[in-house]
Structure 1
Amino acid sequence: MQDNKLNIPLDHIQDGLSLEVVGNNSNPLFYYTDAQYNGEAPYQIMEGRFYHYRFSKKEYCFEPSEVVEPSPFSSSEGRLTPNIYTGTLELNIFKSFDIEVGSVGIEVQSVKASYREDYRFMLEAITDKCTDLLMQANSPVSHNFEADFSNENEGTIYQRFAFIKSIINSDEFKESIYRIITFPSTTWMEELETTDSRKIRRFKNSELRQLINRNPRAKLPLNHPLSKRGLNSMPTRIETTRKIDTVDTPENRFIKHALQTYLKLCSTIISNIKTGTRLFKEVEALSENIENQLSHSFFQEISRPHTLKLNSPVLQRKEGYREVLRSWLMFDLAAKLVWKGGEDVYKANKRDVATLYEYWLFFTLLDMISEIFDIKGKETSQLIKKTNDGLGLQLRQGRHTALKGVYKSGTRNLNIKFSFNRTFSGKKKFPKSGSWTKSMRPDYTLSIWPEEINEDQAENEELIVHLHFDAKYKIEKLIEIIDAENIGSNEDLLSSEKKEERKGKYKNADLFKMHTYKDAIRRTGGAYVLYPGEEKLTEKGFHELIPGLGAFPVRPNKTDNGTSDLKVFILDVLDHFLNRASQRENMAFRTFDIHKKKPNNLKESIPEAYGKNRNFIPDETFVLIGGYKSLAHLEWIEETGLYNFRMDSERGSIILDQQTVSAKYLLIHTFNEIVSGKLFKINSRGPKVYSGTRLHQLGYPFKDSGKGKNYLVVEIAPVEDEEFKNLDWKFSKLKNYKRGRESFKPFTSTLTELMNTINS
């Protein structure tokens, strides 16, 4: 029942005392009659909202806390602000400020309408997965531990009980019990009865003996066949046996034993916890449920078991029985399981569905990733480890859990690592893994790199890619985190967001976090939101799938959890990794190549790199330095716009390498010069081969350019860039310059190096 006002009676503290809680249409209140069945307090408010409260008597008050803010005018009234807390809020009540007189429970609902069903389903799913893991890891320590609830704190007990409850309270278990009662396994058994001896058609040995000895007897006629054989009388009634159909079978005894074991566990827990707590109410409700099942007439006919025949074909195969057998095995293991991370979900009467969603997503993603990649059993079995107090699930917020695998294809094998709560430190220096600034911790990270190298080398050489995913349970629609069409202008949206931020509400914080991961964590290929909705979003950074941002729906649902879109995306990412000519591969190499050495320093004026000149990068712009032999040679160069290099193996010949072929400028000098200002732009796309005869025809001033010799020739023109005019360069400072007889030998330099030799 929804209302704007709740009046909570507190007669257990003092007659006539009550607590009034007031909300409005935006902050509704609820009262549920079925709350105890769900382990909840009947009076309920919603997370993230605020409510006003007031005691009916002014001498009573709440203790101030993060949730309770008393009024400055009266301590008996104030405001409740549960923020992100969900679960039963146990508020201690004081009289005259310092005398604690009791408490009141108020349930804080999740903003998600389906949180009850989601909570139950996710807990069942995690229990089911943990049982599978336990069965893998439990063989060497299967009977070393028994849960001792008398020596545990309430948080640990609740954690264990939550697993057990999810097994027993599941629809599958209830349906199994109904199936067994409706279509039970039966057997024939013999029952003794006393009957008229004349009705017996065929006598057994035991009945034949009674013909001689049993009383009372009746005399037989003389013509009776038995009289002729010397038997003068026979008993009037004989004790015989008959076969009847019974449900008192070993298999049904096991079912009854299992239910009684569950009931005994509930009694043990109740005797070791505080009355009135969430756990007490939940255990009490479960006990009532089990007692109702055991009170069925079916179980009244069944005796106690002498032995448990767990290898019975009926228990292992018959519908209903096999599910209960599995639940019993799960129950036995779950009672031994210690999950420290469960405290994030259950501690202090919390019911943190958002955190449970994060844990559930881990197992859901693990199942999906295991289908795609080769993740060995020993990797997943490490999630369950032997601890001092039982078998521990090694999954907890803030603690790094990583599983490794391999993806094999015909052309490329890849290593993968699936991490939960991995911290990317802000303290590690480039090129090591980590964050550029403060430490970051995404919920899940999928890292991919070539199989032939280890992870550290992949980080150092820019060969690894990280994909980050964050769980956002409270998002239902993408419109909550991205701009939608037909909802107003961007200016209106931004203005609205600014107002919300000033109120402390950060509607786009989830999307901003994805941008933060992408930009802050080194070698991030993408960052994505996982939420229980319907729509997907993938935004590409450039022309390819990654780098990118987006959101994928993953719902707590048994039939369709929505991971199909996410699985297709991961497969597309793998297909992208098989493309060795992708832009991402090129960018990764460029990043590695640029950052592997310290940067050069160039502060001189050079042409700007834009438009057709966009690829004008000083470190990748090469200059040829060559000689001219005489004034006549220089005049020929300037008149023809050609410059030639020798191609033979003698001294002075040019070395053809990538830098020479791709050179964009030519600086020429004559003998004994170490400074030159004669800079030309190379217009040809590369050197061309000219014969000596062809050069002679063009007026080349040297007679040795005759037949049998070939030259490399580039087409040149005076530089027109203002930044290069009226400059002289002391090229003898260049690292490739050779002194002495080889000073005339042509060589190359980068524009950066050349500009740092300007002769002032």
Structure 2
Amino acid sequence: MDELSIHIALNNGDCTTLYVFARRKNTLFKSEDAKEYGESPFQLQEGCMYDFELDKNSYYLQEDRDILTNSKSRQAISRGCISTGIYVGTYSIDVLQKEDNKKVGEVAFEIRSAKVGYRDDYRRMLEDITEFCTELLMQQSSPVIQRYEVDITKDPRSDYQRFAFVRSLVDSDSFADAMYQIQLSPVKRWIDSEEERQLCNVKRWGQHTLRQLARATNRVSLSNQHPLKDRFDTLPRCVPVAFRKETADIPENRFIKYVLRSFLTFCSSIQHHSKAGQRLKQEASLVCEKLLQYLSYPLFRNISEINVLPLNSPILQRKEGYREIFQKWLMFDMAARLTWQGGEDVYGAGKKDVARLYEYWLFFKLLDVLSQKFHIPSKSKEELIDCSNELNLTLKQGKMIMLSGIYETDSRKLNICFSYNRTFSYTDNYQLSGSWTRNFRPDYTLTIWPGDITSEEAEREELITHIHFDAKYRIEQLFLRDNTNKNNDEVSDDLSEMKREEERGTYKRADLLKMHAYKDAIRRTGGAYILYPGTENQVIHGFHEIIPGLGAFAISPKDYDKSIQAFLTFLDDVVDNFLNRTSLREKLAYHTYSVLSKNNNRSLREPLPEPYGANRDLLPDETYVLIGYYKNEQQLDWILKRKLYNTRTGSANGSLHLSKEVISARYLLLHGERELLTGRLYKLVPKGPRIFSKEKLKKIGYKEPSGDYYLIYNIEGIPEPEFEGMKWDIRLLDGYKKGNLSASAFSVSLADLMKVKVS
């Protein structure tokens, strides 16, 4: 439908017709089943635009800049535009009189979600949230102490919140199935009974009945021809006969009837409350009708009123159908009193924000999943419920709620922290948690770090990993990865279309870019993933392991048990990655910490070999040069001929102590006696030095070795051409010693060596 006309009866006796025109096809509806869901039959779709016009110029619609905008012209004020945006739910618009701006009527639209089946999703999610909260409350309160009169006058703004929780109990499939099971197979019992029967209708004569032949009153005389005349002159017209009969009027069925009436009383009080809005009254009426339908079952027609609650009955606790209704009843009082600090975001002022509800619903589902997976103590969940006065669920968008615990495995202990709407604020201190650009607030964050340190220490030492998740109910199709088979023209067309979408505000890749923003801006982020109610799971690895990565998981209220499996597998893979102490993630974290923990204020702009190929690891700060000494020309000839350089090691004075810098030296710079400016640079074989004894050194032709042990370096040859013609003043190096120790070998970094270059 692309056009809709709505007849509006005004309270001044007049009437007008509102015409609505859809700018996009098939986004305007007149729903036949709207009453069943408490909705307006006139329905628009979220994310769409519509033009409207009243047939009479003397009236106009109340402007709402968020959704409805009237024409700027005073003469054409009865026309305008409706932009639904992300609003979902009942939207009422006042009709005003142009003459005096007085309200003379109203018209209501239902703005429906673009998602097919959103009504069922909404009902399922609200039912799950209610069940979680009431079960949590029953862990803290006694379910036997119930309060059945609900005073909704204390906080009228919470009426719909409380009713929505109770309605989710009554409207649940489990409630309907339970009532069907009770009606189909009610519990009955045999009882002893007695009734008056005529003598001809008595089939079995017991002793009690025979005695009544002589004792019973209201007797008639027997004729002389009667066979019993010789024994009795008279016989009673009727005698009491004892028998056993089956009945459903038992305490358990009385309890079921009592539960239905308790629910009906609450919903009726909502329906007739003076401050309840039209939508609230309409939905309460629908629930009342459903409860009255249950009470009209033939089973309850002859059920008497309850006088004692049979709470210890095995039937209520175990039998199918009865057990479910009993559980709903235990949850009922708490649900009727429960308010939600974040509920106004979901269904305040007529809204039915299924996207926001999906975000809250996922929180509870993820909380359960992570609690089971990582054994988070249940006592942490109690922080969600404030029982000090009213029963308040303290889950609200923008508030951080943190549940944490230690997850112990055979090989490692891990700290697990799950946060909702945690804010990562800007900070220029990279050792602190946060963002290095703008503030970010993912919907959910799973944080993992080693079990024996605090999160602050883990942040400082790059040992912590944040994994972020965002709930995206409205996503229909994922655009996480491009087709690698596209040619250059197709890629160019895609990028051009992406630019046009961005200009129109319909950017399909915005969610993907947001995940990239989390990954890149929030420090120590291992991954960012979309959660949406679809069918397709995608996980893209940044390298060879599960994290770092980006992706999406389909978690649907309609098929939760099946759809959550991919997410559970992902959690298993993440845990396995943390248990692998040789993972690339561990190595990257260490090298990041190693580099960033040092204050590097030095700069080096000298010509050096480029770090690629065999020189890929040539970093001036981490490339070391051995400064060696030769006694005379004969020793220098021996060094260059044998391509070996030896220096004493051990405990004697002037011996070279083994260190990482000495062992990993890449270059050798030689100098002789009084040769303080030298350019004798040679490249060493990268295998590292060997240790030779004095005897072995003699065998290879070295004359008169004075020490017991020597380090032997293999010389590869002349260095890269970038070093050609350079000379260095070794006196300026930190390791150089004067006097008799000037011949001692020492190592310096290539960066330090280049600072003393003289030509």
TM-score, reference length from structure 1: 0.92
The residue number in structure 2 matching 1:418 is 418
- Which amino acid in structure 2 is aligned with residue 655 of structure 1? H
The residue number in structure 2 matching 1:727 is 726
Distance, in Å, in 2 between the alignment partners of 1:328 and 1:684 is 78
The residue number in structure 2 matching 1:611 is 613
Task: Specify every segment of 5 or more residues in structure 1 that has no aligned partner in the other structure, as ranges.
Answer: none
| Residues 164-222 of structure 1, C-alpha deviations (whole Å, 9 max, x = no match) | 11110122212222222232222334555322356554456698478336233435979
Q: 1:27 to 1:427 in 2, by over 3 A?
A: farther
Shift of 1:757: 2.8
2:122 is aligned with 1:124: no
Question: CA RMSD of the aligned region, Å?
Answer: 2.8
Would you identify which runs of 4 or more consecutive aligned residues in structure 1 move more than 6 Å?
220-228, 485-488
Once the two structures are superposed, the pairs formed by residues 688-727 of structure 1 within 5 Å of their partners are 688-690=690-692, 692=694, 700=702, 704-705=704-705, 709-716=708-715, 719-727=718-726
Given the alignment, which residue of 125, 148, 151 partners 1:148?
151
Distance, in Å, in 2 between the alignment partners of 1:198 and 1:147 is 58
Structure 1 contact 220–234 (Cα < 8 Å) conserved: no
The residue number in structure 1 matching 2:159 is 157
Deviates more, 1:269-278 or 1:25-34: 269-278
| Residues 638-658 of structure 1, C-alpha deviations (whole Å, 9 max, x = no match) | 444332101343212111222
Given the alignment, which residue of 3, 6, 17 partners 1:5?
3
Deviates more, 1:86-95 or 1:448-457: 448-457
The residue number in structure 2 matching 1:568 is 569
Structure 2 contact 178–325 (Cα < 8 Å) conserved: yes
Deviates more, 1:325-334 or 1:293-302: 293-302
Q: 1:33 to 1:691 in 2, by over 3 A?
A: closer
Shift of 1:695: 5.1
Once the two structures are superposed, the pairs formed by residues 73-88 of structure 1 within 5 Å of their partners are 73=73, 74-88=76-90
Once the two structures are superposed, the pairs formed by residues 579-658 of structure 1 within 5 Å of their partners are 579-605=580-606, 606-658=608-660
Structure 2 contact 681–719 (Cα < 8 Å) conserved: no
Structure 1 contact 482–508 (Cα < 8 Å) conserved: no
Structure 1 contact 600–752 (Cα < 8 Å) conserved: no
Q: 1:10 to 1:144 in 2, by over 3 A?
A: closer
| Residues 310-368 of structure 1, C-alpha deviations (whole Å, 9 max, x = no match) | 22122222222111111111212211222111211111111111111111112222232
Shift of 1:52: 0.5
Shift of 1:561: 4.1
Structure 1 contact 450–463 (Cα < 8 Å) conserved: yes
Q: 1:144 to 1:377 in 2, by over 3 A?
A: farther
Structure 2 contact 470–531 (Cα < 8 Å) conserved: yes
| Residues 567-618 of structure 1, C-alpha deviations (whole Å, 9 max, x = no match) | 1111112112222111111111101111112015132312221122111011
Which SS does the other structure have where 2:139 is aligned? helix
Structure 2 contact 18–52 (Cα < 8 Å) conserved: yes
| Residues 511-537 of structure 1, C-alpha deviations (whole Å, 9 max, x = no match) | 101111111111111111111111211
Given the alignment, which residue of 101, 104, 108 partners 2:104?
101
Once the two structures are superposed, the pairs formed by residues 387-536 of structure 1 within 5 Å of their partners are 387-389=388-390, 391-427=391-427, 429-479=429-479, 482-484=481-483, 489-536=490-537
The residue number in structure 2 matching 1:378 is 379
The residue number in structure 2 matching 1:340 is 341
Shift of 1:385: 2.9
Shift of 1:242: 4.1
Deviates more, 1:292-301 or 1:303-312: 292-301
Distance, in Å, in 1 between the alignment partners of 2:397 and 2:735 is 58
Shift of 1:24: 4.5
Shift of 1:759: 4.1
Which SS does the other structure have where 1:335 is aligned? helix
Distance, in Å, in 1 between the alignment partners of 2:223 and 2:239 is 16
Q: 1:561 to 1:158 in 2, by over 3 A?
A: farther
Shift of 1:696: 5.3
The residue number in structure 1 matching 2:68 is 68
Shift of 1:399: 0.9
Structure 2 contact 220–236 (Cα < 8 Å) conserved: yes
Distance, in Å, in 2 between the alignment partners of 1:26 and 1:595 is 56
The residue number in structure 1 matching 2:555 is 554
> Number of residue pairs matched?
750
Which SS does the other structure have where 2:331 is aligned? helix
The sequence identity of aligned pairs, in percent, is 43
Q: 1:631 to 1:344 in 2, by over 3 A?
A: same
The residue number in structure 2 matching 1:665 is 667
Deviates more, 1:232-241 or 1:17-26: 232-241
Distance, in Å, in 2 between the alignment partners of 1:17 and 1:274 is 28
Q: 1:660 to 1:148 in 2, by over 3 A?
A: same
Task: Specify every segment of 5 or more residues in structure 2 that has no aligned partner in the other structure, as ranges.
Answer: none
Structure 1 contact 458–464 (Cα < 8 Å) conserved: yes
Structure 1 contact 273–280 (Cα < 8 Å) conserved: no
Distance, in Å, in 1 between the alignment partners of 2:144 and 2:586 is 48
Q: 1:234 to 1:146 in 2, by over 3 A?
A: closer
Q: 1:690 to 1:180 in 2, by over 3 A?
A: closer
Distance, in Å, in 1 between the alignment partners of 2:731 and 2:155 is 82
The residue number in structure 2 matching 1:754 is 753
Distance, in Å, in 1 between the alignment partners of 2:105 and 2:590 is 67
Distance, in Å, in 2 between the alignment partners of 1:145 and 1:175 is 24
Q: 1:717 to 1:392 in 2, by over 3 A?
A: same
Structure 1 contact 432–460 (Cα < 8 Å) conserved: yes
Deviates more, 1:654-663 or 1:557-566: 557-566
Distance, in Å, in 1 between the alignment partners of 2:732 and 2:226 is 147
Q: 1:636 to 1:140 in 2, by over 3 A?
A: farther
- Which amino acid in structure 2 is aligned with residue 45 of structure 1? L
Q: 1:294 to 1:688 in 2, by over 3 A?
A: closer
Q: 1:461 to 1:607 in 2, by over 3 A?
A: same
